Amino acid sequence: MAGPNYSEKANEILNAAELRMRQGGFDAVSYRDLAAVVGIKASSVHYHFPQKADLGRAVVERYTTKLLAFLGAPDDPTEFVETRIKRLCSAYQHALIHEEVPCLCCVLGAESLDLPAVVSQAVNHFFVQMIHWTATALLTGCEAQGDRDSSGSLPSDRQAAEVLAKHIIGTLQGTMITALTLQDPDVLTNAEPFLLRLVSSAIPTTPERQP
Amino acid sequence: MAGPNYSEKANEILNAAELRMRQGGFDAVSYRDLAAVVGIKASSVHYHFPQKADLGRAVVERYTTKLLAFLGAPDDPTEFVETRIKRLCSAYQHALIHEEVPCLCCVLGAESLDLPAVVSQAVNHFFVQMIHWTATALLTGCEAQGDRDSSGSLPSDRQAAEVLAKHIIGTLQGTMITALTLQDPDVLTNAEPFLLRLVSSAIPTTPERQP
DNA sequence: GTCTATAATTTGATAGAC
DNA sequence: GTCTATCAAATTATAGAC
């Protein structure tokens, strides 16, 4: 499960490539520009990542790992569902507002139809993982409230949780793009209360819940 | 307000360019490919659109005009707010499900930071227009219920309507990308009921409203 | 007014040097 | 193992033909 051990140079290349990709998409990355940033020749970059598709896949996989690490466990029983969703929102806010570039897979997802297969597969995997994290975050919160059977099996409304999770991830991606284009970060930060309303109404209300 | 009168050939070029742009973004369009589609030489395309940025701007502007024409008036007093929002949702669904490519400005918005200035301005304008349509659609629905002062001035909560409108447009863009990447159109169609819940709670409820 | 031959860059990738 | 000289193809754009 641990990602590959990239050399120092390879990591520098990945950093530069991720930035360019988040600014302008897959086609915006050129070996020449990357080489200039890390101080080698364009053809040298091919030693670290032979094909451009390899580079793209590596960037997406590293990004996925980083983001999931930031999010942490989605099923900590001492945590409210709302806290988890807020953490998810804050991850997206951090990307746009502090790093000043949109989510990588938001950009690549938009040009999904035209990406090399290995790259679009990695982007697909990112979405699947994010949705799985979110669905689990929604479900184990319900469990903490003891409003489902206590068997160890999957919750009975896993499917409903997946639907809501897909909606949440989609909404964060889209409000990020809209915020970016309008140069109005509030569009993204305002998504949080809207989403929390959907989440609250999806969780059977228990006025004074205990974590 | 009427768009420019493009020649037959120019329109063919715009059609091909729009398709490629929606598949893979601005960089995915090449004069060579466009020329092959419409049956002329690459350099001939430059007669119709001298710079690539001109071509990009023209594609976005024509797209914006087409979509607004489909949506029609946002303030027809005989229409429920929900009907208007459903029409907005159906426009996005039609793009992805029937045309089989995502919304143009969803793709270009994602690479907004890297577009030629005239193109990103046109994309920005698209979002502004769509949000204005949606905010008006939300507000005049409220008006139809007579729950605001009857003066001809702008409604008092125009600002709140804009916030919700930005959220709606953003959500549609993002669920479209997610649906595309997961190859699961339901992510987009499921957005409709979620959004309608937000809209309904934003409009003071009147059980049996008359259009 | 419409289109094309041609140029000037830039691109990803290979074969081979150190 | 790391990097580079070099290539072949593709890209936008211009100057000029019809």
pLDDT, one tens digit per residue, over A144-154 is 555 544 444 44
Which among B128, B107, B99 is positioned nearest to B22, based on CA atoms?
Answer: B107
Checking if the pLDDT of B137 tops 90, the result is yes
How many pairs of residues across A and B have Cβ atoms under 8 Å apart? 173
| Mean residue pLDDT across chain B | 91
CA B206/CA B168 separation, integer angstroms: 22
CA B123 – C1' D10 distance (Å)? Answer: 27
- Collect all residues with Cβ–Cβ distance below 8 Å to B80 and sequence separation of at least 6: B141, B209, B211
Q: What is the pLDDT of residue A207?
A: 46
* pLDDT tens string B78-94: 999 999 999 999 999 99
Decide: CB of B37 under 7 A of nucleic strand C: no
Decide: CB of A31 under 7 A of nucleic strand C: yes
CA A42/CA A28 separation, integer angstroms: 15
Sorting pLDDT into bands at 50, 70 and 90, what band is A105? very high
* pLDDT tens string B19-35: 999 999 999 999 999 99
Structure-token match 């710079």, residue found: B51
CA A190 – C1' D3 distance (Å)? Answer: 49
Taking residue A206's Cβ as centre, other Cβ atoms within 10 Å add up to 11
Give the pTM: 0.93
Checking if the pLDDT of A163 tops 90, the result is yes
Sorting pLDDT into bands at 50, 70 and 90, what band is B143? low
The whole-number average pLDDT for the span A44-68 is 98
Q: What is the pLDDT of residue B202?
A: 78
CA A171/CA B198 separation, integer angstroms: 13
* B128: chain A residues, CB-CB within 8 Å: 182
Q: What is the pLDDT of residue B156?
A: 55
Taking an 8 Å cut-off on Cβ atoms, the answer to whether B166 and A184 are in contact is: yes
Checking if the pLDDT of B149 tops 70, the result is no
Q: What is the pLDDT of residue A154?
A: 43
Q: What is the pLDDT of residue A117?
A: 98
Sorting pLDDT into bands at 50, 70 and 90, what band is B51? very high
Contact indicator for A31, A45 with CB cutoff of 8 Å: yes
CA B79/CA B97 separation, integer angstroms: 26
Q: What residue has its CA nearest to the C1' of C1? A: B47
Decide: CB of A24 under 7 A of nucleic strand C: no
CA B9/CA A207 separation, integer angstroms: 65
Q: What is the pLDDT of residue B207?
A: 46
CA B52 – C1' C2 distance (Å)? Answer: 19
* B175: chain A residues, CB-CB within 8 Å: 166-167, 170-171, 174
- What is the CATH T-level fold of the domain B56-202, as seen in this structure? Tetracycline Repressor; domain 2 (1.10.357)
Contact indicator for A8, A43 with CB cutoff of 8 Å: no
Residue of B nearest to A176 (CA): B170
